[in-house]
Chains A and B, each alone.
Chain A
Amino acid sequence: MPAQTNLPDHPSFLWRNPDPAKSYDVVVVGGGGHGLATAYYLAAVHGITNVAVLEKGWLAGGNMARNTTIIRSNYLWDESSGIYEHALKLWEGLEAELDYPILFDQRGVLNLAHSLQDVRDSVRRVNANRLNGIDAEWLDADAVKEVCPIVNVSPEVRYPVLGATYQPRAGIAKHDYVAWGYASAADRLGVDLIQNCEVTGIETTDGRVTGVNTTRGRIAAGRVALAASGHSSELAAMAGVELPVQSHPLQALVSELLEPVHPTVVMSNAVHVYVSQAHKGELVMGAGIDNYNGYGQRGSFHIIERQMSAAMELFPIFARAHLLRTWAGIVDVSPDASPIIGLTPVDGLYLNCGWGTGGFKATPGVGDCFAHTIANDKPHPYNEPFTLERFTTGALVDEHGAAAVAH
């Protein structure tokens, strides 16, 4: 019997593919997770449906296709835990909200501690998380082994595992499905998702944004919202706005498909590796950023080499797994490792950037808060601390290291 008799029908299209209209109330620049979520909440929560999302490539083909899908909210500072926990609560209801499967799986995240200082910082962060109502536990090495039996907790290694913080509600989701869920839901509400449409200029008149020039013509816009991660500096410069971010390659890799061996997510800030096993079976591993500025979606091989040697020490069982492919995304890193979300010196121009290595987990939260900011011309309380002005006033939200961010 021919095999193709069992093939499913071609899936129906998840969104229209319209040509750009002459004008929109809101133009969102960047069709990744953040841009799509922002457009969805603009339409669903604020009733603003005359919205276009402009994407220079294909939807969700940048960092949304390249991240390691880890979701957690165990950040140190109140400001960060506010927005990340808001996001996590939205993740918990997102399948129902979007009416789309996203394979959100709360399998927990371990953030390993390898030194006495790591232990102290980790316990402090657990206490801070609990004060903010976020689930967090400190586990000693034996308890780490119980949660994740394949972690090597031997004291005989170069960076022994002394314990870990554990957030049981953390986990992973299927990044493509998240993007498609938001895209499809936004499209149903009337949002135009326009691909192969690169913004080449931002028009302003008397300090107010009036439209964008694109590779598909001029588009008038009442408001313009930037959500372009690694390309934010270039875009903001089109409106004369300077940003304190630097674009770096961030690399990740996957193994071939394997039987389920890894029940949770393990992150190690000290040795720069984070590991989970995707639903399909591949081991997904992320590295730290390459140190140099870079816009090529690739990085240096020695970063991968070091990341793999760290992974081998933590997970000896991976020694014979085959590497399938490596890649990089371009992340915009801010000076305090916290995002910049809010108003700009140009009226009607809104900014969402500086997420660095941590943007995916925030997708629903930032979409909701950024939409609120655009609709009301005023930040949502959760993104109020994350202004561009904080680099002048000094009110930084310093999450370097403090948040177990793998840099």
Chain B
Amino acid sequence: MQLIPCPWCGPREEVEFHYGGQAHVDYPAEPAALSDEEWAKFVFFRDNPRGPFAERWSHAAGCRRWFNAVRDTRSYELLAVYRPGQERPVTT
């Protein structure tokens, strides 16, 4: 089973984690100013790369904290994990 390195707890089995989709999607600063197209983008459209992807995970059956990871969607290899509020690390 894939081990996911929780930035607080260290490596744990994948079944302990919950997937949260794309990371760094901010809630609109001025929601009332958004057009329908902009709302659609915010609500329904997410990146879907074949390759490194910054995404959210929650250690649901462990410390129950959210964190971000950069994972390669081709190999499923975790290239980096980092805490909320931190910049996306540079990965190769």
Contact = CB atoms under 8 A, between A and B. Distances in A.
A293 interface: yes
Contact of B76 (A243, A244, A246, A294): A294
A246 B46 contact: yes
A301 to B, nearest CB: 6
Contacts of B71: 292
Interface string A281-300: 00000000001111110001
Interface string B48-91: 11100101000000000000000101111000000000000000
B48 A300 contact: no
Contacts of B14: 300, 302
A335 B21 contact: no
Interface in A76-129: none
A341 to B, nearest CB: 17
B45 A295 contact: no
Interface string B27-58: 00000000011011101111011100101000
Contact of A292 (B45, B55, B74): B55
B48 A245 contact: yes
A293 B51 CA distance: 10
Given A301-B1, A391-B40, A296 B76 contact: yes
- Residue among B1, B14, B44, B75 facing the most chain A CB atoms (10 A cut-off): B44
Given A295-B50, A300-B14, A391 B73 contact: no
Nearest to B36: A392
Contacts of A294: 73, 76
Interface in A269-326: 291-296, 300-302
A246 B48 contact: yes
- Residue among A234, A244, A247, A295 facing the most chain B CB atoms (10 A cut-off): A295
Given A291-B19, A292-B19, A302-B1, A247 B75 contact: no
A393 interface: yes
A295 B44 contact: no
Nearest to B38: A392
B55 to A, nearest CB: 7
Given A244-B45, A302-B15, A392 B40 contact: yes
B3 to A, nearest CB: 12
| Interface band, chain B | 20 to 34
A391 B44 contact: yes
A244 B47 CA distance: 8
Contacts of A242: 41, 45
- Residue among A234, A245, A246, A293 facing the most chain B CB atoms (10 A cut-off): A293
A184 interface: no
B75 A296 contact: yes
A355 B76 CA distance: 23
A300 B71 CA distance: 15
Contacts of B21: 246, 293
Contacts of B19: 291-292
B48 A233 contact: yes
A55 to B, nearest CB: 17
Interface string A233-262: 110000000111111000000000000000
Contacts of A243: 45, 48
B76 A292 contact: yes
Nearest to B2: A300
Nearest to A299: B76
Contacts of B15: 302
- Residue among B39, B41, B73, B74 facing the most chain A CB atoms (10 A cut-off): B73
17 contacts: A244-B44, A247-B73, A292-B71, A292-B73, A292-B76, A293-B21, A293-B73, A294-B76, A295-B73, A296-B75, A300-B2, A301-B1, A302-B1, A302-B15, A335-B44, A391-B45, A393-B36
Given A246-B48, A293-B21, 20 more contacts: A233-B49, A234-B50, A243-B45, A244-B45, A244-B46, A247-B48, A291-B18, A291-B19, A292-B71, A292-B76, A296-B76, A300-B1, A300-B2, A301-B1, A302-B1, A391-B40, A391-B43, A391-B45, A392-B37, A392-B40
Q: Which 9 A-B pairs have the closest CB atoms?
A: A233-B48, A291-B19, A244-B44, A392-B40, A391-B44, A295-B50, A335-B44, A244-B45, A292-B19
